[in-house]
């Protein structure tokens, strides 16, 4: 059973509809996107034991978070979620700051272009440009690539593209409640939707079309589940039973049994980046998974 805090959060989010309104779909969806993005985008906040730096790549912000006064335990290239239409949130920055502070990660988090102004072809090309620049900066230093939700989908798509282009690959991949199939057509998603406090089927269907643009939704750049998953580094994935995207993680496990999938019943979308007791255990699991891969 989920902890009281996790259950309460799911109940409150379902009741208030705070996030579900952001992912509602329908004719007002793009208006909701514009309204949310009209507010100043959150950024990492000053932290006593985390060094925070900002840079730019092709006119886009890139944030760097690393522990102060000690060598990092791992280097992480992280792609944030947000349905490909929303920027990183305070929840993302709190999660990344904690991973830097508690687990010693040195994290690079690029703020990639968003839909509907940009679509999958451009966004994945931009991300691949950044990936190759990151490789050049890292030299022989091992790193891990990961992301949550849409960022998990982008992580997977980039890993496929990097492998196909003959680039060096990350030591491992972290997929946190990843969005791997833009088409929410799985029958189990209808059963899960009433329990999902963050996403709706109409919302991810609409967001998926905005992101895909002229590409078919089955293109692996849009829906990496349809890509070739052979020859990739080890993968740790997380999923929640009250998340309509849980079917994507299950499909990945069925397609690639070597994936280590941690699915918890009753947990909401993106639960590993929150502050529940289950989240803290998941974060420790990430750290334990990542460190042997890069040392």
The structural domains of the chain, ordered by start, are: 4-37+46-294 (3.40.50.1820)
Q: How confident is the model at residue 41 (pLDDT cuts 50, 70, 90)?
A: confident
CA dist 261 and 239 (Å) reads: 7
Q: Say how many residues make up the chain.
A: 295
What tens digit of pLDDT does each residue of 189-223 get?
A: 999 999 999 999 999 999 999 999 999 999 999 99
What tens digit of pLDDT does each residue of 247-289 get?
A: 999 999 999 999 999 999 999 999 999 999 999 999 999 999 9
Does residue 106 surpass a pLDDT of 90?
yes
As beta bridge partners, residue 264 has: 240
CA dist 153 and 193 (Å) reads: 20
* C-alpha distance from residue 132 to each of 77, 135, 196 (Å): 12, 5, 36
Looking at residue 263, its pLDDT comes to: 98
What tens digit of pLDDT does each residue of 130-151 get?
A: 999 999 999 999 999 999 999 9
Does residue 293 surpass a pLDDT of 70?
no
Burial of 142 (0-12, 13-18, 19+ CB in 10 A): middle
Asked if residues 147 and 84 have their Cβ atoms less than 8 Å apart, the reply is: no
Half-sphere exposure of 131 (CA within 13 A, CB side): 27
Asked if residues 26 and 202 have their Cβ atoms less than 8 Å apart, the reply is: yes
Strand bridging mode 105-110 / 60-67: antiparallel
Percent of the chain with pLDDT over 70: 99
């Amino acid at each position: 059973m989920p902890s009281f805090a996790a259950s309460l959060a799911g109940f409150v989010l379902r009741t208030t509809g705070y996030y579900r309104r952001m992912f509602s779909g329908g004719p007002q969806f793009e208006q909701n996107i514009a309204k949310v993005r009209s507010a100043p985008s959150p950024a990492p906040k000053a932290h006593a034991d985390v060094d925070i730096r900002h840079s730019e790549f092709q006119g886009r912000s890139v944030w760097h978070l690393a522990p102060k006064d000690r060598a990092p335990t791992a280097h992480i290239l992280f792609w944030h979620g947000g349905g490909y239409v929303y920027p990183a949130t305070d929840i993302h920055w709190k999660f990344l700051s904690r991973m830097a502070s508690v687990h010693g990660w040195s994290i690079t988090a690029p703020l990639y272009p968003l839909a509907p102004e940009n679509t999958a072809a451009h966004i994945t090309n931009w991300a691949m440009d950044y990936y190759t620049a990151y490789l050049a900066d890292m030299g022989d230093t091992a790193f891990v690539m990961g992301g949550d939700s849409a960022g998990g989908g982008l992580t997977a798509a980039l890993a496929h593209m990097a492998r196909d282009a003959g680039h060096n690959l990350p030591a491992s991949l972290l997929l946190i409640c990843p969005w791997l199939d833009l088409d929410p057509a799985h029958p189990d998603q209808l059963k899960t939707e009433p329990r999902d406090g963050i996403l709706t089927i109409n919302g991810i269907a609409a967001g998926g079309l905005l992101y895909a643009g002229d590409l078919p939704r089955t293109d692996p750049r849009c829906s990496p589940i349809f890509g070739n998953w052979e020859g990739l580094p080890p993968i740790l994935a997380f999923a929640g039973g009250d998340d309509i995207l849980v079917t994507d993680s299950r499909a990945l496990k069925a397609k690639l049994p070597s994936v280590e999938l941690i699915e918890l019943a009753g947990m909401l979308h993106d639960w590993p980046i929150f502050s529940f007791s289950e989240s803290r255990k998941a974060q420790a699991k990430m750290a334990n998974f990542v460190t042997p891969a890069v040392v």
